[in-house]
Chain A
Amino acid sequence: MHPSLIDLVHISKSFDGELVLDDLNLSVRENSFVTLLGPSGCGKTTTLRIIGGFERPDAGSVIFNGENITDMPPNRRQLNTVFQKYALFSHMNIAENIAFGLKIKGKSKDYIQDKIQYALKLVNLSGFENRSVDSLSGGQQQRIAIARAIVNEPKLLLLDEPLGALDLKLRQDMQYELIRLKNELGITFIYVTHDQEEALTMSDTIVVMNQGYIQQMGTPEQIYNEPENAFVADFIGESNIVDGTMLHDELVEIFGAKFACVDKGFGVNKPVDVVIRPEDIDLVKPSEGTLTGIVTHLIFKGVHYEMEVTTPNGYEWLVHSTDMFPVGQEVGIHVDPFDIQIMNKPESEDEEAVGVNE
Chain B
Amino acid sequence: MNKKKTSLLALPYGLWMAGFIAIPLFMVFCYGLTDRSGTFTLANVLAIATPEHRKALVLSLLLSAVSTFLCLLIAFPLALILRGRRIGRGSFILFVFILPMWMNFLLRTMAWQTLLEKNGVINALLGILGLPALSIINTPAAIVLGMVYNFLPFMVLPVYNTLAKIDDNVINAARDLGAGPFQTLIRILLPLSVPGIISGITMVFIPALTTFVISNLLGGSKILLIGNVIEQEFTRGSNWNLGAGLSMVLMIFILISMTFVAKYDKNGEGTAL
On A, residues with C-beta under 8 Å from B are 52-54, 73-77, 80-81, 83-85, 87-91, 100-101, 104-105, 145, 148-149, 152
Contacts and interface: CB of A to CB of B under 8 A. Distances in A.
Contact of A152 (B170, B178, B183): B178
Contacts of B173: 81, 83, 87-89, 145, 148
Interface string B180-193: 10010001100110
Given A85-B167, A85-B169, A89-B170, A73 B177 contact: no
A-B pairs, 4 with minimum CB distance? A101-B177, A87-B169, A87-B173, A104-B178
B169 A84 contact: yes
A152 B177 CA distance: 8
A112 to B, nearest CB: 13
Given A75-B179, A104-B183, A83 B172 contact: yes
B66 interface: no
Interface of B: 167, 169-170, 172-180, 183, 187-188, 191-192, 194
Contacts of A77: 176
Contacts of B170: 87-89
Contacts of B174: 89, 100
B172 A54 contact: yes
A100 B179 CA distance: 9
Given A87-B170, A89-B170, A104-B183, A81 B176 contact: yes
Given A73-B175, A89-B170, A148-B177, 8 more contacts: A75-B180, A77-B176, A80-B177, A85-B169, A87-B172, A88-B170, A90-B192, A149-B176
Contact of A104 (B172, B177, B192): B177
Interface centre among A52, A75, A85, A145 (most CB of B within 10 A): A75
A149 to B, nearest CB: 8
A74 B176 CA distance: 5
A100 B177 contact: yes
Nearest to B184: A75
A54 B170 CA distance: 12
B11 to A, nearest CB: 39
A91 B189 CA distance: 10
Contacts of A87: 167, 169-170, 172-173
A104 B184 CA distance: 10
Contacts of A148: 173, 177
A90 B177 CA distance: 16
Contact of B179 (A88, A90, A104, A149): A104
A209 B175 CA distance: 27
A100 B170 CA distance: 12
A80 B176 contact: yes
A164 B76 CA distance: 34
A80 B176 CA distance: 6
A83 B178 contact: no
A152 B178 CA distance: 9
A89 B169 CA distance: 10
A197 to B, nearest CB: 25
Given A74-B175, A75-B175, A89 B188 contact: yes
Contacts of B194: 91
A94 to B, nearest CB: 15
A227 to B, nearest CB: 33
A77 B169 CA distance: 17
Contacts of B191: 91
Nearest to B194: A91
Contact of B178 (A89, A90, A91, A101): A101
A75 B176 contact: yes
A159 B176 CA distance: 12
B87 to A, nearest CB: 14
A54 B175 CA distance: 9
Nearest to A54: B172
Contacts of A100: 174, 177, 179, 187
8 contacts: A53-B175, A75-B175, A75-B177, A80-B176, A87-B169, A87-B173, A101-B177, A152-B177
